[in-house]
Amino acid sequence: MTRAVARSHPNIALVKYWGKQNEQLILPAAGSLSLTIDAFPTTTEVTLDDRATADTFSLNGVPAAVGQTARVSALLDIVRAVAGVDTFANVDSISEIPTDAGLASSAAGFSALAAAAAAAYGLELDSRALSRLARRGSGSASRSVIPGLAVWHAGNDEESFAEPVNGPDVRMVIVTLSTGAKPVSSREAMRTCMLTSPFYPAWVASTKWTLDGALEACRDNDFTRLGRITELHANRMHALIQSADPPIRYLTPQSVAVFDAVAQLRAAGRSCYATADAGPNVVVLTTPEDAEPVARHLAELGETRIVGAGPGAAVIERGIEP
């Protein structure tokens, strides 16, 4: 039996992905920019099994729900079609994201799965091809293939991959406020925004020029401009989400309090900017110098953890099992 193990880390977007132009191929309506972080990896083992009559998937040692296994199988189908192999596989994933970290697990999860599956089925993929494959599992997974800052391009299937971006040395302070499950999944919420919000076309158009500005800021090593864009774009995404029908709101009063505290820290001279994904927890983009004082100050509002730039997806073991 052929097996491979791969590891990948989550990413936090500075310019957000929120909306698709093609749901089947997971092509985004606009490009995005993120930081792959150096904490909470997912490690995934894919073992081909000649005798199996279906794929299996376990997460942290527990057999996954049917829907989750179907998403894993759908990605394996793409790999099998390219490899010309129809053998099913057993997939075992260990996620080190604590259930209370409030970080999305699908980016690291599908990035690790894509890397392990490609290796187990004998595909030699460069990082572009691996990013395109991971994208088919979950859009944000395309960015976790890449270390550190990564831009994920919009475009057709061939053009839509993530690649590294040089930029300022940054840290993030993750402020955990809630441990509850999100009320509406990102996938469903983005669809509702696209179908019902009158602001959606403006969101897509503005994200394009926002990304251009963020990439310029990276090129110029301009932390302040990158931070301002990060907070602005997060606020615009949450404004869009709140304009959906039926309405969706991920931020809580506690989240808003962290945004306010970050603004106060800035007024006091700290370099820090807030963002939030499809949930109440807030992530603060900051500099290596200000990470500690910012984290200390925000600790009264939630549990804080400082993270930095992390590695891209990597195969850490491969072999033939008897």
> In the complex, which residues of this chain contact ligand 2P0 (CB under 6 A)?
13, 16-18, 26, 32, 104, 106, 138-140, 186-187, 277-278
Closer of 3 and 57 to ligand 2P0 (Cβ): 57
C-beta atoms surrounding 47 within 10 Å: 18
Torsional sign, CA 142, 146, 148, 149: negative
- Whether residue 270 contacts residue 286, with contact meaning beta carbons closer than 8 Å, is answered with yes
Closer of 3 and 16 to ligand 2P0 (Cβ): 16
Strand intervals (E) in the chain: 2-8, 11-15, 20-22, 27-28, 32-36, 42-49, 56-59, 62-63, 88-95, 149-152, 162-164, 171-176, 272-276, 282-286, 303-307, 314-320
Cβ at position 264, least distance to ligand 2P0 in Å: 25
Cβ at position 158, least distance to ligand 2P0 in Å: 18
Cβ at position 93, least distance to ligand 2P0 in Å: 16
- Whether residue 280 contacts residue 178, with contact meaning beta carbons closer than 8 Å, is answered with yes
Closer of 91 and 107 to ligand 2P0 (Cβ): 107
Closer of 48 and 229 to ligand 2P0 (Cβ): 229
Closer of 26 and 101 to ligand 2P0 (Cβ): 26
Q: Which two tokens stand for residue 248?
A: 């969706």
Give the CB-nearest residue to ligand 2P0: 139
Measured between alpha carbons, how far apart are the two ends of the chain, in Å?
A: 6
Cβ at position 191, least distance to ligand 2P0 in Å: 9
Distance from C-alpha of 212 to C-alpha of 312, rounded to nearest angstrom: 23
Cβ at position 245, least distance to ligand 2P0 in Å: 19
Cβ at position 135, least distance to ligand 2P0 in Å: 8
Closer of 16 and 128 to ligand 2P0 (Cβ): 16
